[in-house]
């Protein structure tokens, strides 16, 4: 079984769509561990604030199989792939880490977003503070301590994900 970490985000009906994502992940993979939920400004475009969290699960699925399941969930939430990279979205699920796998193709692992965006790193560091990033060799908690938080502020929010 592989330890897998995902990020979930939404800025279109975010509470409803995050619940859909969590429900579908549980249905497909069983038990999940989730971080708190954080609100952040849209990055790269003008849009409504996002709600984001991180999820941990164990699976025997390959990264490609997980990616296929993620795309099904995106479709369920009404996400369209013909929109730009930086746009509002009902549900955005990204595979961040798959054990200590380092790969560029077919998927980039670990995903570069882990160290680039506070809305990815903070929930992930909350969920797995002692997890060592397979490229940097530092823990996620160390990366979060070093992150320029003021450049990408986050606000913890209470959201019922059930």
CATH label of the domain that carries residue 13: 3.30.70.560
| Predicted local distance difference test score (pLDDT) of residue 87 | 67
Rounded Cα distance, 46 and 52, in Å: 17
Stated pTM of the model: 0.94
Instruction: Indicate whether 101 belongs to any domain.
Output: yes
Q: What is the domain extent for residue 79? A: 2-111
104 falls within a domain: yes
Condensed to tens digits (0 to 9), the pLDDT of residues 109-139 reads 999 999 999 999 999 999 999 999 999 999 9
105 inside domain: yes
In a domain, 81, yes or no: yes
* Residue 161 within any structural domain of the chain: no
At 22, the pLDDT band (50, 70, 90 cuts) reads very high
6: which strand partners? 55, 95
């Amino acid at each position: 079984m592989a330890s897998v970490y995902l990020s979930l985000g939404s800025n279109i009906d975010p509470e409803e769509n995050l619940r859909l994502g969590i429900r579908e992940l549980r249905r497909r993979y069983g038990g999940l561990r989730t971080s708190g939920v954080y609100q952040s400004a849209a990055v790269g475009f003008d849009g409504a604030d996002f709600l984001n969290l991180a999820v941990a699960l164990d699976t025997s699925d390959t990264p490609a199989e997980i990616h296929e399941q993620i795309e099904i969930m995106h479709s369920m939430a009404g996400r369209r792939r013909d929109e730009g990279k930086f746009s509002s979205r009902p549900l955005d699920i990204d595979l961040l880490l798959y054990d200590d796998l380092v790969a560029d193709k077919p998927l980039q692992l670990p995903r570069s977003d882990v160290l680039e965006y506070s809305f990815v790193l903070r929930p992930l560091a909350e969920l797995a503070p002692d997890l060592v990033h397979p490229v940097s060799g530092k823990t996620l908690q160390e990366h979060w301590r070093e992150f320029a938080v003021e450049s990408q502020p986050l606000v913890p929010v209470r959201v019922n994900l059930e």
